[in-house]
C-alpha cells in the first residue's frame, strides 16, 4: 500500500506546483497591468497640464492683445467726450414765468466742496459706498451684485462703481458689448490715476442724468425743487439720489407717490451706511399724502406747450441750441379755464355721460391766452382744441345768417318757421315747437332749425362755405343743407377764429401762440409781427347785425347761462344725438370756445351747449375781464378800426337803432330780469335747444 500512497503524493505536488505557478504568473500580469494603467493616467495628467498651460498662455496672450487693441482706441476716445444732450427749450407765459421745459437741462457746474455733505452721502449710500476705498473697480460690490442676480435669476443689481459710470458717461456710447465693458473698466482705472476722488465725484454729479431732461444735481434741484443744489435738504437730496436707479420711473414730477417711496429707501440706506441717524429718518416717515387725482390734474398746460413746440421747426428751423420761447398764454385765464372745466366735468360727467372737455380762449388780435386740450394730459395727450374735428352743431348757424345778411336779408326780415315738407332732408326743431312767422333776430335767438335750413336753401351752401373760408375755417365742409345745422366737423381752433373775426368787426384774425424766440444770449431768432392793418373780410354793417342777433342769444335765448356783466355775443351748439355740446362766443376783448363730449363719439345723456359749456365760458370770461378791469379798450390790440377806438367803443355801447357795431339796439331791448322772452307774444321755447 505504501507505494500507491507515495505515487498519489507526487501527483498532488505537481498539481500544486502548477497552481502556484499560475497564481504567480497572474500576480505578475496584474502588477504589470496596474503599472501600465497608472502610467497612462500620469501621462494624461501631464499632457493636460502641458496643453492647459499652452492654452492658458495663448489665452493670456490673446487677452493681452485684445486689451491692447481696446486700449489703442482710448486716446482718441478720451479726446472727445460723449455727452448727448438735446437742446433745452424753455417756454414762458406772457408774464415771463416758466410754463415748461423741453429737451435736456444742464445746471451750473458745482464741486463737492460746494455741496452740503448729505447730497454726496445720499448718492454714495445708493450707488457706491466704498467709493473712497476702491481703485475704480469694487470687487466686493461686484461679487455681491452677481450673487443677488444669480439668486433672482435676473439682472437686479449692477456692480458698476461711480468711476465706471463716469467713464461711460464721459467717453463711451450706451452700446452694451464686451468691448465697451472692458474699455469702461480700463478708463475707470485711468480716471482713478489721473484724478482725485473728489474730482471724480464732482464730475459724476455734474454729468449724471436725473430725469425730466436734467443733467447733473444742480439742474435736477432747480427743475424739481426750484432751488440750487447747494440748498437741498436731506430729504430732497435723498429724492434726487433715488432718481439714479430709474430717472423716469421715480421722477417727483411724473410720479410723486413712487418718488416718495424711493426717497424712504434712500434715507434708510443712508442710515445703514452710517451717514444719518434712524431718528432723522423717522421724522420723515409721516409724509403728506399724494393729492387725489382730479379730472383736470393741472397738467393741461402741456397741451399748449406741445402745440408751441410743434411750431418751432416752421419758425426757426432745426433747434440745435438752447432757446427761450415767449408765448401769449395768460396763466390766470388758463387756471380759470381748468378750474371751471374740472367743476363742470365733475357735475355733468356721471349724470350726463360726459368724459372729456376742451376749451380755447383767443384775444381778438389772435393771441391764444388759454388752451385746454382735454381733461387730463396724463391720461390722453391728444389735443382736442387743435386736432379734434367735431360737428359744431347750431354754433355754425351764425355763419348761415351772416351769409343771408350779405345776400340782402335784414335782421328784421321775417321768415316762416314751420315743418319742412319738401325734399329728402327734413330736420325738426328742438322739442318739435314751431312759431310761424318770425324775424331772423328771433329765429337765431331761439336757434330754430327749420329757419337755418331754409336760409341755407335760399343762399346756397357754396356761399356759406365761402363765408366760412373768409372767417378762417379751412376744414372740409359738405355742400348740403345739413351744413346749416353744423353737420360737418370743424376743429375748435377754426371755430374760435371765425368768432374772433366776428368780434373784431369783420377783420381777419390769425391765431398765434408765440411772441418771441431768443437764444441763451437773448439774440432774437423770431418775433411775431404786429398786424398793422388786417384784411376786412366781411363788411362791418353786416357784422353789426349778426352781433346783435348773437347778443340776444346770450341775453334772451339758449345761451343765457353764459351771461356776464359785459357786452357778450355767442351761440350754443348741440350736435346730433347730443354727441357734442358747444358754446362759442366773443366780447370786445376775447373769443372763446368750450366743448364737452366723448372721444368715442358716443351720445351724452342730453347734454346741451346751453348748460355745462355755457357755464364754463361765463366763468372763464368773468376771470379774464375782471382781471383786465372791465370792457374798455386799454389793453386791446385788435388791429385797425376805421374811426379809431373811440368811434368803435361808441358803436359798441350804442343803444341807438342806427348803431353799426355791437347790436345793443335794432329795436330790441334786453328782457328785464325776472321776465321771460316770448317771440311775437305767442310762444315760449325750451332753452336747451
Catalytic residues: 127, 394
- Please tell me the distance from the alpha carbon of residue 53 to that of residue 63, in angstroms, as a whole number: 15
- Please tell me the distance from the alpha carbon of residue 126 to that of residue 112, in angstroms, as a whole number: 17
- Please tell me the distance from the alpha carbon of residue 201 to that of residue 137, in angstroms, as a whole number: 15
Closest CA to 371 of 276, 305, 317, 325: 305
Do residues 179 and 70 make contact, with C-beta atoms less than 8 angstroms apart? yes
Phi, psi for residue 215 in degrees, rounded to 5:
-120, 120
Do residues 609 and 581 make contact, with C-beta atoms less than 8 angstroms apart? yes
3-class secondary-structure state, position 371? strand
CA angle 572, 576, 577 (to 5 degrees): 110
CA distance between the termini of the chain: 151
Instruction: Report how far apart, in Å, the C-alpha atoms of 423 and of each of 426, 431, 453, 457, 470 are.
Output: 7, 22, 12, 11, 30
Following DSSP, what letter does each residue of 250-295 receive, concatenated? T-TTT-HHHHHHHHHHHHHHHHHTTSS-HHHHHTTSSPPPPPPPPS
Following DSSP, what letter does each residue of 633-663 receive, concatenated? STT------TTHHHHHHHHHH--STT--SS-
Do residues 593 and 362 make contact, with C-beta atoms less than 8 angstroms apart? no
Do residues 505 and 648 make contact, with C-beta atoms less than 8 angstroms apart? yes
- Please tell me the distance from the alpha carbon of residue 400 to that of residue 413, in angstroms, as a whole number: 15
- Please tell me the distance from the alpha carbon of residue 453 to that of residue 448, in angstroms, as a whole number: 9
Kindly give, in sequence order, each residue whose CB lies less than 8 Å from that of residue 430, ignoring residues fewer than 6 positions away. 447, 449, 685, 686, 688, 689
Do residues 383 and 429 make contact, with C-beta atoms less than 8 angstroms apart? no
- Please tell me the distance from the alpha carbon of residue 167 to that of residue 382, in angstroms, as a whole number: 40
- Please tell me the distance from the alpha carbon of residue 288 to that of residue 268, in angstroms, as a whole number: 19
Whose grid coordinates read 439742474?
219
DSSP class of residue 605?
S
Say how many CA atoms lie within 13 Å of 462 toward its Cβ: 0
- Please tell me the distance from the alpha carbon of residue 464 to that of residue 615, in angstroms, as a whole number: 29
DSSP class of residue 577?
G
Following DSSP, what letter does each residue of 7-20 receive, concatenated? HHHHHHHHHHHHHH
For residue 201 the three cell numbers come to 465725484
> What H or E segment, with its residue span, contains residue 516?
strand 514-519
- Please tell me the distance from the alpha carbon of residue 199 to that of residue 205, in angstroms, as a whole number: 10
Do residues 397 and 429 make contact, with C-beta atoms less than 8 angstroms apart? no
Do residues 82 and 172 make contact, with C-beta atoms less than 8 angstroms apart? yes
Amino acid at each position: 500500500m505504501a507505494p500507491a500512497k507515495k505515487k498519489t503524493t507526487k501527483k498532488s505536488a505537481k498539481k500544486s506546483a502548477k497552481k502556484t505557478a499560475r497564481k504567480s504568473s497572474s500576480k505578475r500580469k496584474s502588477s504589470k497591468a496596474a503599472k501600465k494603467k497608472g502610467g497612462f493616467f500620469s501621462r494624461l495628467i501631464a499632457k493636460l497640464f502641458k496643453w492647459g498651460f499652452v492654452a492658458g498662455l495663448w489665452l493670456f496672450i490673446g487677452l493681452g492683445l485684445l486689451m491692447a487693441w481696446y486700449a489703442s482706441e482710448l486716446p482718441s476716445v478720451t479726446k472727445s467726450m460723449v455727452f448727448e444732450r438735446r437742446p433745452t427749450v424753455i417756454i414762458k407765459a406772457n408774464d415771463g414765468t416758466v410754463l415748461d421745459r423741453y429737451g435736456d437741462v444742464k445746471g451750473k457746474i458745482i464741486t463737492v466742496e460746494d455741496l452740503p455733505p448729505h447730497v454726496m452721502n445720499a448718492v454714495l449710500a445708493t450707488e457706491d459706498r466704498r467709493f473712497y476705498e476702491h481703485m475704480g473697480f469694487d470687487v466686493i460690490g461686484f461679487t455681491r451684485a452677481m450673487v443677488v442676480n444669480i439668486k433672482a435669476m435676473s439682472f437686479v443689481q449692477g456692480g458698476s462703481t461711480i468711476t465706471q459710470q463716469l467713464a461711460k458717461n464721459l467717453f463711451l456710447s450706451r452700446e452694451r458689448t464686451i468691448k465697451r465693458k472692458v474699455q469702461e473698466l480700463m478708463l475707470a482705472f485711468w480716471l482713478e490715476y489721473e484724478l482725485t476722488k473728489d474730482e471724480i465725484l464732482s464730475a459724476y454729479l455734474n454729468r449724471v442724468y436725473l430725469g425730466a431732461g436734467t443733467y447733473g444735481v444742480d439742474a435736477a434741484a432747480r427743475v424739481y425743487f426750484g432751488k440750487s443744489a447747494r440748498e437741498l435738504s436731506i430729504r430732497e437730496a435723498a429724492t434726487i439720489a433715488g432718481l439714479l436707479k430709474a430717472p423716469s420711473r421715480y421722477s417727483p414730477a411724473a410720479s410723486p407717490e413712487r418718488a416718495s417711496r424711493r426717497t424712504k429707501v434712500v434715507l434708510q440706506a443712508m442710515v445703514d451706511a452710517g451717514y444719518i441717524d434712524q431718528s432723522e429718518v423717522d421724522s420723515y416717515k409721516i409724509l403728506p399724502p399724494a393729492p387725489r387725482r382730479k379730472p383736470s390734474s393741472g397738467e393741461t398746460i402741456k397741451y399748449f406747450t406741445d402745440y408751441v413746440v410743434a411750431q418751432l421747426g416752421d419758425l426757426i428751423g432745426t433747434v440745435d441750441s438752447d432757446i427761450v420761447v415767449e408765448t401769449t398764454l395768460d396763466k390766470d385765464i388758463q387756471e380759470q379755464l381748468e378750474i371751471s372745466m374740472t367743476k363742470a366735468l365733475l357735475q355733468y360727467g356721471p349724470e350726463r355721460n360726459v368724459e372729456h372737455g376742451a376749451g380755447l380762449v383767443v384775444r381778438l388780435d389772435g393771441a391764444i391766452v388759454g388752451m385746454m386740450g382735454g381733461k387730463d394730459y396724463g391720461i390722453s395727450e391728444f389735443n382736442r382744441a387743435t386736432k379734434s374735428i367735431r360737428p359744431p352743431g347750431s354754433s355754425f348757424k351764425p355763419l348761415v345768417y351772416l351769409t343771408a345778411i350779405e345776400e340782402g336779408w335784414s335782421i328784421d326780415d321775417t321768415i316762416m318757421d314751420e315743418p319742412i315738407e319738401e325734399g329728402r332732408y327734413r330736420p325738426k326743431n328742438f322739442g318739435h315747437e314751431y312759431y310761424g312767422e318770425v324775424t331772423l333776430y328771433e329765429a337765431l335767438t331761439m336757434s330754430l332749425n327749420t329757419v337755418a335750413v331754409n336760409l341755407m336753401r335760399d343762399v346756397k351752401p357754396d356761399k356759406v362755405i365761402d363765408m366760412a373760408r373768409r372767417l378762417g375755417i379751412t376744414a372740409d365742409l359738405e355742400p348740403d343743407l345739413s351744413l346749416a345745422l353744423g353737420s360737418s366737423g370743424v376743429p375748435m381752433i377754426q371755430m374760435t377764429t371765425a368768432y374772433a373775426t366776428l368780434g373784431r368787426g369783420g377783420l381777419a384774425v390769425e391765431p398765434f401762440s408765440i411772441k418771441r424766440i431768443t437764444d441763451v444770449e437773448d439774440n432774437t431768432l423770431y418775433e411775431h409781427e404786429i398786424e398793422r392793418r388786417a384784411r376786412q373780410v366781411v363788411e362791418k354793417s353786416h357784422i353789426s347785425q349778426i352781433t346783435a342777433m348773437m347778443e340776444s342769444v346770450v341775453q334772451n335765448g339758449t345761451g343765457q347761462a353764459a351771461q356776464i356783466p359785459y357786452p357778450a355775443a355767442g351761440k350754443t351748439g348741440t350736435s346730433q344725438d347730443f354727441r357734442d355740446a358747444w358754446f362759442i362766443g366773443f366780447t370786445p376783448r376775447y373769443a372763446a370756445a368750450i366743448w364737452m363730449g366723448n372721444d368715442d363719439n358716443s351720445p351724452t345723456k342730453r347734454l346741451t351747449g346751453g348748460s355745462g359749456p355755457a357755464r364754463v365760458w361765463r366763468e372763464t370770461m368773468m376771470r379774464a375781464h375782471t382781471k383786465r378791469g372791465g370792457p374798455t379798450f386799454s389793453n386791446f390790440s385788435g388791429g385797425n378800426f376805421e374811426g379809431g377806438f373811440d368811434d368803435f367803443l361808441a358803436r359798441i355801447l350804442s343803444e341807438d337803432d342806427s348803431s353799426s357795431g355791437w347790436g345793443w339796439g335794432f329795436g330790441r331791448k334786453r328782457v328785464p330780469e325776472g321776465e321771460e322772452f316770448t317771440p311775437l307774444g305767442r310762444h315760449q321755447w325750451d332753452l336747451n335747444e
